[in-house]
Amino acid sequence: MSEPICKVADIIFVRFELVDLEPQKEYMEHFGMILAHETEDAIFYRGTGTAPYCYVATKGQSNRFIGTAYRANALSDLEALAAAKGVSIVANTEPGGGHKVTLIDPDNIEIEVYYGLQPSEPISINPIMLNTGVDKPRENTLQRFGRGSDEWQLHDNRWVYELTSKVKRLGHTAINVADAAISVDWYANTLGFLISDNLLAPDGPHSIGAFMRCDQGDVPVDHHTLNNVQFLGEPKPAFGHAGFEVTDSVDDLMAGHYHMKTVDKYYHEWGIGRHLLGSQMYDYWRDPSGFTHEHWTDGDLLNASIPATDTPARDLIMAQYGPEAPASFGATMPSEEVDDFRAATPSLTDIVKMMEQQPK
């Protein structure tokens, strides 16, 4: 394969347009993010990591996913993208400064690539220590994540678990694409993404997408920064989900689960389980507009020396453990419509079953 135009370092944030920002602000705080900046018509949320923000929404006429922002290693990468794609390098007028180019991917997703966006001071936490059957490093220290049972409070006669997850950063997006080969080639050639897993269709050896990661040479990076999938039937470009890494492992993920569950305002989409591709523990929730966001922890890290693996699409659906993958997973829809959709549509796990029971 020819050299890509550039090799981006990492993902920074996702950008949405929303009709009403207020319900989203409430959701983001329950989901475990911190309001970093706010204007009349935009909200910028951060995690505990160094990205100045990892979620941006602007007020608009519709609820829609606009796109994803990535971090370049050098200004010369922006110059190379500008020259190759016929776009301009512009000064970033939003918080954090720096410069960016804006591209459009084959599925009409806006791709912003930044250089010089000012990092934020990370927010430190006290990491927990786990005692296991193999190793017991924690002695004479009690395992507490907050104030103990004080974290359970009564709200209108209902118990609510008050600790949220502590989101650290955005780790990846998943997108549904019109043509897997075109999307995979575009991200490989434009942003330097490598294929971690090449997803093989259940009904043949052709690819239906990939899990792709950044190429940072010897430096290990997340197993996937992007998952592009071409759904069976008539694939339509669409947002799948945004995956946010929590700060402190399994208990941080579990705290968020019980907070979201007991707040009882949002649709639980899928989880808790442990993925095969990337190996993360996962938990998926829908926001007030029906977009899906993931809490994840303990993902695989790979450097550029690891070759692509051909992987059956079964492994995308069948986690190492966890509940069945619902029919609605990967589709954006208002939460009120999800139950009816699920009742009328076989789950993704059922689709795998049907395919495996077909006579060979």
Least distance CB 56 / Fe ion (angstroms):
19
Which residue number, 107 or 283, has a Cβ lying nearer to Fe ion? 283
Binding residues for Fe ion, how many (CB under 5 A)?
A: 2
294 near Fe ion, rule: CB under 5 A: yes
271 near Fe ion, rule: CB under 5 A: no
Asked, as a colleague might, if the bond just before 128 is cis with ω within 30 of 0, I would say no
Taking alpha carbons only, the member of 261, 314, 313, 312 closest to residue 283 is 261
Query: In what order do the strands lie in the sheet containing 10-18?
Result: 34-39, 42-46, 55-59, 10-18, 64-71, 110-115, 99-104, 90-91
Which residue number, 101 or 226, has a Cβ lying nearer to Fe ion? 226
Pair 30, 265: CB distance under 8 Å? yes
Instruction: List CB contacts of 131: < 8 A, sequence separation 6 or more.
Output: 137, 138, 143
Stretch that binds Fe ion, among 73-81, 263-271, 286-294, 335-343 (CB under 5 A): 286-294
Which residue number, 44 or 282, has a Cβ lying nearer to Fe ion? 282
Stretch that binds Fe ion, among 118-126, 237-245, 308-316, 340-348 (CB under 5 A): 237-245
Least distance CB 170 / Fe ion (angstroms):
11
Least distance CB 328 / Fe ion (angstroms):
15
Which residue number, 115 or 329, has a Cβ lying nearer to Fe ion? 329
171 near Fe ion, rule: CB under 5 A: no
Stretch that binds Fe ion, among 243-251, 253-261, 333-341, 345-353 (CB under 5 A): 243-251
Pair 304, 216: CB distance under 8 Å? yes
222 near Fe ion, rule: CB under 5 A: no
How far apart, in whole angstroms, are the C-alpha atoms of residue 238 and residue 125? 36
243 near Fe ion, rule: CB under 5 A: yes
Stretch that binds Fe ion, among 28-36, 144-152, 240-248, 308-316 (CB under 5 A): 240-248
Residue type, 110: E
Nearest to Fe ion by Cβ — which residue? 243
Stretch that binds Fe ion, among 20-28, 132-140, 161-169, 291-299 (CB under 5 A): 291-299
Which residue number, 243 or 271, has a Cβ lying nearer to Fe ion? 243
Stretch that binds Fe ion, among 47-55, 98-106, 253-261, 290-298 (CB under 5 A): 290-298
Residue whose tokens read 């200004």: 75
Which residue number, 186 or 329, has a Cβ lying nearer to Fe ion? 329
Chain residues binding Fe ion by CB under 5 A are 243, 294
